[in-house]
């Protein structure tokens, strides 16, 4: 494979300079500063810092000292499974419907991506008004049919469910567009050959189409997993906050509480590093476990 040859050894660094001017102050420095802050203990006034080594990490890894952190850890795992699994399943079903040859289908496909353009905080506000127990359109329709008004924001089971539904809706268009693009790139000869051999629609989808979509599935699992752990904060904060009985206090929201409410900067920095390592580890695990069943060149 031909390699680029530069007359000056400094020329590649000059090409990288615009990117480094953005990454160094806004990405690399904050990461290093977060690691540094995690080694310090915050005074009760929330301002003064004193070096404490790995004390913050010892607190977080001790359930008897920080039980709320471990509860939020378990909630984050459950939320991520529901958001990634449910979201991809629904998106795949919608993509199959959008892949049909119908009149006006291009307009419908264009509308699919619109929810992704809305920020998570705005999605939280939209669902907050839609599911308002008094004036919400969902509760109004529910009451007209079942004559009850569910307390979406006061029930420890309904509130997490509402957050999960909002997160799935937020990424629905994004996931669907990727699956739709993958389906349109699959050669029709394979599907036709399977139909001639007697395979029904479900067999053609599960045995041929779905395995060929595995690169898209792998990518979407990673992006949705990152969203479930990091980007969901704005949605949770606007829609539910900590939730009844802390039912929506996830890792990212627990970090926010320790930083802005408890003013414990060092502990919050340690939590952010653990969250980063957790997501990076899950991503690497996903790459390793999915590598054998991923088919490229479909």
Q: How far apart are CA 166 and CA 177, in angstroms?
A: 18
| 228 or 112, greater pLDDT | 228
DSSP class of residue 152 equals T
Report yes or no on whether pTM surpasses 0.75: yes
Residue 10 counted as domain residue: no
The CATH number that applies at residue 250 is 1.10.3720.10
Comparing CA positions, the residue from 164, 18, 173, 139 lying closest to residue 83 is 164
Average pLDDT over residues 193-207: 80
What pLDDT, on a 0 to 100 scale, did the predictor assign at position 3?
Answer: 63
What pLDDT, on a 0 to 100 scale, did the predictor assign at position 252?
Answer: 92
29: left (phi over 0), alpha (psi -120 to 50) or beta: alpha
Residue 61 counted as domain residue: no
What is the share, in percent, of the chain residues with pLDDT greater than 70?
A: 93
Residue 45 counted as domain residue: no
Q: How far apart are CA 103 and CA 198, in angstroms?
A: 29
Residue 296 counted as domain residue: no
CB 229 within 8 A of CB 276: no
What pLDDT, on a 0 to 100 scale, did the predictor assign at position 297?
Answer: 55
Helix (H) / strand (E) containing 41: strand 40-42
* pLDDT at residue 274 is higher than 50: yes
Within 10 angstroms of residue 253's Cβ, the number of other Cβ atoms is 22
Q: Which residues contact 210 (CB under 8 A, 6 or more apart)?
A: none
**Quick one: pLDDT band at residue 290, thresholds 50, 70, 90?**
low
Within 10 angstroms of residue 79's Cβ, the number of other Cβ atoms is 21
Mean pLDDT over each residue of the chain, to the nearest integer:
86
| 82 or 182, greater pLDDT | 82
* pLDDT at residue 117 is higher than 70: yes
What pLDDT, on a 0 to 100 scale, did the predictor assign at position 196?
Answer: 79
Average pLDDT over residues 82-104: 89
Residue 65 counted as domain residue: no
Lowest mean pLDDT among 134-143, 179-188, 221-230: 179-188
Q: How far apart are CA 106 and CA 177, in angstroms?
A: 12
Cα torsion for 142, 146, 151, 153, to the nearest 10°? Answer: -30
Q: How far apart are CA 167 and CA 161, in angstroms?
A: 10
Can you give the residue range of the structural domain that contains 88? 72-290
Helix (H) / strand (E) containing 49: strand 49-51
Lowest mean pLDDT among 29-38, 104-113, 209-218, 252-261: 104-113
Structure tokens belonging to residue 235: 């949605």
Quote the number of domains for the chain: 1
* pLDDT at residue 121 is higher than 90: yes
Average pLDDT over residues 77-100: 92
Residue 15 counted as domain residue: no
Q: Which residues contact 217 (CB under 8 A, 6 or more apart)?
A: 88, 290
Residue 236 counted as domain residue: yes
What pLDDT, on a 0 to 100 scale, did the predictor assign at position 209?
Answer: 84
**Quick one: pLDDT band at residue 71, thresholds 50, 70, 90?**
very high
Lowest mean pLDDT among 151-160, 175-184, 201-210: 201-210
Residue 270 counted as domain residue: yes
Average pLDDT over residues 148-152: 88
**Quick one: pLDDT band at residue 97, thresholds 50, 70, 90?**
confident
What pLDDT, on a 0 to 100 scale, did the predictor assign at position 22?
Answer: 93
* pLDDT at residue 298 is higher than 50: no
* pLDDT at residue 36 is higher than 60: yes
* pLDDT at residue 105 is higher than 90: no
């Amino acid at each position: 494979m031909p390699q680029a040859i530069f007359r000056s050894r400094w020329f590649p660094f000059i090409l990288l300079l615009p990117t480094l001017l953005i990454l160094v102050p806004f990405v690399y420095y904050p990461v290093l500063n977060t690691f540094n802050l995690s080694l310090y203990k915050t005074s009760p006034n929330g301002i003064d810092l004193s070096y404490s080594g790995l004390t913050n990490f010892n607190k977080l890894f001790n359930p008897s000292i920080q039980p709320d952190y471990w509860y939020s850890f378990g909630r984050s795992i459950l939320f991520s499974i529901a958001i990634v699994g449910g979201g991809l399943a629904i998106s795949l079903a919608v993509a199959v419907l959008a892949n049909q040859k119908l009149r006006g289908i291009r307009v419908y496909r264009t509308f699919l991506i619109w929810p992704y353009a809305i920020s998570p905080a705005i999605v939280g506000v939209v669902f907050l008004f839609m599911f308002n127990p008094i004036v919400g359109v969902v509760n109004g329709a529910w009451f007209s049919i079942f004559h009850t008004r569910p307390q979406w924001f006061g029930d420890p089971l309904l509130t997490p469910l509402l957050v999960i539904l909002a997160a799935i809706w937020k990424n629905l268009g994004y996931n669907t567009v990727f699956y739709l693009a993958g389906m349109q790139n699959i050669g029709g000869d394979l599907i036709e050959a399977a139909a001639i051999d007697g395979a029904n629609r479900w067999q053609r989808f599960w045995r041929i189409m779905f395995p060929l979509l595995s690169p898209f599935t792998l990518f979407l699992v990673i992006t949705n997993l990152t969203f479930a752990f990091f980007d969901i904060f704005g949605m949770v904060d606007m829609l539910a906050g900590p939730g009844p009985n802390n039912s929506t206090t996830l890792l990212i929201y627990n970090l926010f509480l320790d930083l802005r409410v408890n003013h414990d900067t060092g502990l919050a920095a340690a939590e952010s590093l653990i969250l980063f390592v957790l997501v990076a580890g899950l991503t690497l695990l996903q790459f390793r476990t999915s590598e054998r069943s991923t088919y490229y060149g479909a």
